[in-house]
Structure 1
């Protein structure tokens, strides 16, 4: 059992469970040390603390079995969807989210505005997958991501999602932890060319749509094309936006594009792609996921949930 647990990419999570269960067992025993003055249990009688210890061991066995089953399911799903290797399991989410600051060179003169960044500060070998706009509504994407258990975040524009809000509602509920839906404006316009009032309508209007259709006002916003000015960030803040994630790499079905000079992934990088199909690029949404996951996994990275870190 221990060997299987150590093979898991969630070894840290297992260790924490062991510690928690051991702590629970100790607490339930009624004393931190054996009572040396107490009489030994009679023959056939259960020693104090024995039942909680058995319960803790049983819970740990169940946890390790779930980890093993999930790993096996990923192997099967990876073969089904044509991935070179199964996706790596992301480590446990940090107990405290890292402090996000605006990337150097991306600042405006305004103070107290939502930070603009391309990479989350972390030493863990994780990256974050984000998908923009919502034009292509491929049901195969939902099946693929659910079976592979790949977390991702969607940044939606109302002008292309309003013909089928139900697709994104299914997406939101399609995984164990759910897919988070965020703001990409109402009409995907070039924001620096608009007045403050017009920008606020684009951003706040989409906040209203997402809250009405999907039940929650999103904390994250991505400006179309990655273009913004100080008015953009002021408007976003007034609408309840807390952070503005851009991207460090972009995925297509047939290639990757990189922001950094070394054309590589780094811990905490945000990866962008789009809801597109064969009418717009050389492949389908599953083709794109296959490409980007093969790259991410080959480089030793796991995909984590952006909202666990931001």
Structure 2
């Protein structure tokens, strides 16, 4: 939904490259009128802002025009993979007989690419060296699945593969977070960093808290205040960071932290991010 690729620790093919995509996310995905989108759009219906050259007509004004949701979506490279590899460069406009199938494949392939991205990240971390071999084998299997023909791709039980990969990701996360000094872990847990369930962190005041090595897996952190918080080596997989205030916070070493999550949050130029992530333009 943007014209620029996300930076990533993963291989280039796991980062969105909209110039090589047929605007698939702007057509395939549905959305409802909300604070993230200015109007309703059904699945398979091109967004009115999508031009015939597959570029967004309001790319530089998405937030101002009410399309904040577009700025926080990342296909992990699934869009260009479908466009240029799976469908060999055959645009859905010129081949309408394949359009619906192509649109259905996007969410499936995106999930596989997301898993590949997380595994690649863990294979690059020295703390998880004992798991690199296991990750390598599973990575090859998931990558093979990502190269399947459309019909086979749509038949996959992706939830089963997600479960297998997640078990290894959890082990890797624990290894990375185990390197946090016990005093830091204890201090963070004694305050507000212990991971619970549901909306525990919705609007939570965590300003200045020591959260090193904390797990925010799947946490709802909408509008939470993490200003000046130390979250180094925290696990962010699946965390909802919409409007989370990260001003002056330290997120270096964050595990499974994505550019799309950062784009959904608030922060400033003093927020410390992992090297592979960028300060969003709306923070400046």
Q: TM-score range by the shorter chain?
A: under 0.3
Which of these two proteins has the greater Rg computed from alpha carbons?
Answer: 1
State the TM-score, normalized to the length of structure 2: 0.21
* Between structures 1 and 2, the one with greater strand share: 1
Higher-RCO chain (CA-CA 8 Å, sequence separation at least 6): 1
TM-score (norm 1): 0.20
